[in-house]
Structure 1
Amino acid sequence: MISITEWQKIGVGITGFGVFFILFGILLYFDSVLLAFGNRHKLKGTSFFLGGVAIVLLRWPLLGMLLEAYGFISLFKGFFPMAFGFLGTAANIPFLSMLSQRLQGTSSMV
């Protein structure tokens, strides 16, 4: 018989809780009611994006890509100000500012 220490018992218990909550989270993530409730206010963007994919598959690539672009913009229009705000403050981040200065100094047109 294998002897298990108290620390190993605690580790197995914590790991069991972790596995349970991960599986429970995945189960709730794929719940159709919760997915519909969370995506209801973005129905217009989702339908334009998926409609664009369908139109591309029906061999109308230009129209389909335009519809996909409109759907993408309408889906993520709340995220764009935050992303552009981060890019505006990226010069204040030490590693990124040093990297951008180094890349600006080494670029040449020759």
Structure 2
Amino acid sequence: MITITEFQKIGVGLSGFGVFFVLFGILLYFDSVLLAFGNILFVSGLAFIIGLRRTAHFFFQRQKLRSSAAFLGGVALVLLRWPRIGMLVETYGFVLLFK
């Protein structure tokens, strides 16, 4: 049986809220504040679920550097208030990361 720690439960909640805020930000015509908040919650939730070391290892593997750069660059573009371009770049990186 798999045991789930309290940190992982918090991580699932953070990731869920992150996805919610991203979708809500897209529905509100790419509201950059909601998208940025959703991105931060999603990435921090991922770190809570699998741990900081595994998260860093996942994003910075040699074969995933281009997709990680695209995903994190898209997050940075959203934070810099370029939400449409940032979400396109982020989606490209997300698809390459999780294929």
For the superposition of Structure 1 and Structure 2, which TM-score range results when normalised by the shorter chain?
Answer: 0.3 to 0.5
- TM-score, normalized by length of structure 1? 0.37
The structure with the largest alpha-carbon Rg is: 1
Q: Which has the higher contact order (CA 8 A, sep 6+)?
A: 2
